Amino acid sequence: MIPYGRQHLSKKDIESVVEVLRSDFLTQGDSVPAFEQKLSERVGAKHAVAVNSATSALIIACQSLGLGEGDWLWTSPNSFVASANCGLHCGAQIDFIDIDAQDYNLSIESLRQKLEVAEAKNQLPKVVVAVHFAGQPCALQELADLGRRYGFRIIEDASHAVGARYQDQMIGSCEYSDIVVFSFHPVKIITTGEGGMALTNDPALAKQLRLLRSHGITRCPDQMTGSMEGPWFYEQQELGFNFRMTDILAALGCSQLNQLDRFLEKRISLATRYEAALRQLPLKVPFINPGCQSAWHLYVIRLQLKEIRLSRRQVFERLTAAGIGVNVHYIPIVSHPYFRRLGFDLADYPQTASYYQEAITLPLHPGLTELEQDFIIKELEEALQAE
Ligand SMILES: *Cc1c(COP(=O)(O)O)cnc(C)c1O
């Protein structure tokens, strides 16, 4: 089976992990700060806090922004559930903004309308989680303008977007947001097995993120609220977690980051080949916002169901039967039983609903060969011609 996404590990990646395994510190050593510094320099952020997953990063990002009971968090329904769950873990209420019909990110127009209604009801969100779906950046400038006008904070869920660019900034620069979150799950752009990072330019937020990552405990002499009783001393100042990344994984992260340019080049080249081959077929290829460079985490096509007289499921099953690991991103968050119990209904998000009927994710990862890709294209063409 050709997987839709897969990690790409070099000999150097493996050696860098083994080196940590032979060292004195498997965790809380030098590799985590080294990875944090390397990544923050790469994307142009002042501070980076490495954690054990993007899910953890989203949770402490929300907590650092003071999200809690009585607050609202809004996000896109076309995402992984973690983009919404972080709000619920903080005791906040959540709501969703329908997606844009072209780029499948949250729609700025829907957001604007929803904010007007929420303002009248005095239910404005405290935090908006903007997901850069498939690696394509959201309209960050417009979002930041609305954030200033309505007083909400912005977390970028950039789990798909390591290496993406928005105008002249790397995603991760935090130019338009309070905190940016990356994921290093093996299907994402670079991997640490499991892992994530929260980046910010605000030193107070960085301090809070670090505290929450490690039980709410600090050992920094200059951060004590009371006097240091001795060299053994530490204080728990907040209720935090153990969300730390190990040094084993941080070393892998550093080594993977060295290959980011190559990974992106390969993803862009495969996406360009897909576009050229698929443009003429009865489907919609991804739309690219001008001024943006997608990280191409996912290659999502939308079938023109009226033209092909087949269901998405039929096309999906044909491709799977041919050994092609297609996928669907995403089952709308609001459709899961847990969220339906909270009162959400996919019918309230018409663009998300119609997108979900038609979307298929084709394999795209740095190890995918052009031969494999040609096979995928041929099988897709044949599937679409079937009656
Ligand atoms: C993968 C993903 C996450 C969760 O990342 P983990 O590192 O697996 O916790 C969150 N949001 C989005 C959009 C993702 O794709």
Residue 28, helix vs strand vs coil: coil
Nearest to 297 by CA among 217, 187, 212: 187
Residue 325, helix vs strand vs coil: coil
What whole-number distance in Å separates Cα of residue 189 and Cα of residue 337?
Answer: 30
What whole-number distance in Å separates Cα of residue 196 and Cα of residue 190?
Answer: 10
What whole-number distance in Å separates Cα of residue 352 and Cα of residue 97?
Answer: 9
Residue with tokens 């990875």: 35
Tokens linked to 311:
């269901």
In the prediction, which pLDDT does 71 show?
98
DSSP secondary structure string for all residues of 242-283:
B-BPPHHHHHHHHHHHTTHHHHHHHHHHHHHHHHHHHTTSSE
Are 332 and 353 within 8 A, CB to CB? yes
Ligand 1 pocket residue status of 157, Cβ below 6 Å: yes
Distance 338 CA to ligand 1 centre (A): 18
Please name the amino acid found at residue 313: R
In the prediction, which pLDDT does 387 show?
65
Distance 161 CA to ligand 1 centre (A): 11
The size of the chain, in residues, is: 387
Distance 54 CA to ligand 1 centre (A): 5
| Per-residue pLDDT tens over the stretch 165-221 | 999 999 999 999 999 999 999 999 999 999 999 999 999 999 999 999 999 999 999
Q: How far is CA 317 from CA 10, 195, 322, 335, 368, in A?
A: 33, 32, 9, 22, 21
In the prediction, which pLDDT does 386 show?
76
Quick one: residue 230, left, alpha or beta (phi over 0 = left, psi -120 to 50 = alpha)? left
Are 241 and 210 within 8 A, CB to CB? no
DSSP 142: H
Are 72 and 124 within 8 A, CB to CB? yes
Distance 51 CA to ligand 1 centre (A): 12
In the prediction, which pLDDT does 351 show?
98
Number of alpha helices (DSSP H) and beta strands (DSSP E) in the chain: 14, 15
The pTM (predicted TM-score) of the whole model is 0.98
Ligand 1 pocket residue status of 53, Cβ below 6 Å: yes
Ligand 1 pocket residue status of 185, Cβ below 6 Å: yes
- Please report, in tens digits, the pLDDT of each residue of the chain (387 residues total): 999 999 999 999 999 999 999 999 999 999 999 999 999 999 999 999 999 999 999 999 999 999 999 999 999 999 999 999 999 999 999 999 999 999 999 999 999 999 999 999 999 999 999 999 999 999 999 999 999 999 999 999 999 999 999 999 999 999 999 999 999 999 999 999 999 999 999 999 999 999 999 999 999 999 999 888 999 999 999 999 999 999 999 999 999 999 999 999 999 999 999 999 999 999 999 998 999 999 999 999 999 999 998 999 999 999 999 999 999 999 999 999 999 999 999 999 999 999 999 999 999 999 999 999 999 999 999 999 876
What whole-number distance in Å separates Cα of residue 321 and Cα of residue 276?
Answer: 25
Residue in 52, 157, 297, 300 to alter for ligand 1 test, most ligand atoms within 8 A of Cβ: 157
Minimum-distance ligand 1 atom for the alpha carbon of 195? 7
Q: How far is CA 171 from CA 5, 174, 205, in A?
A: 21, 7, 18
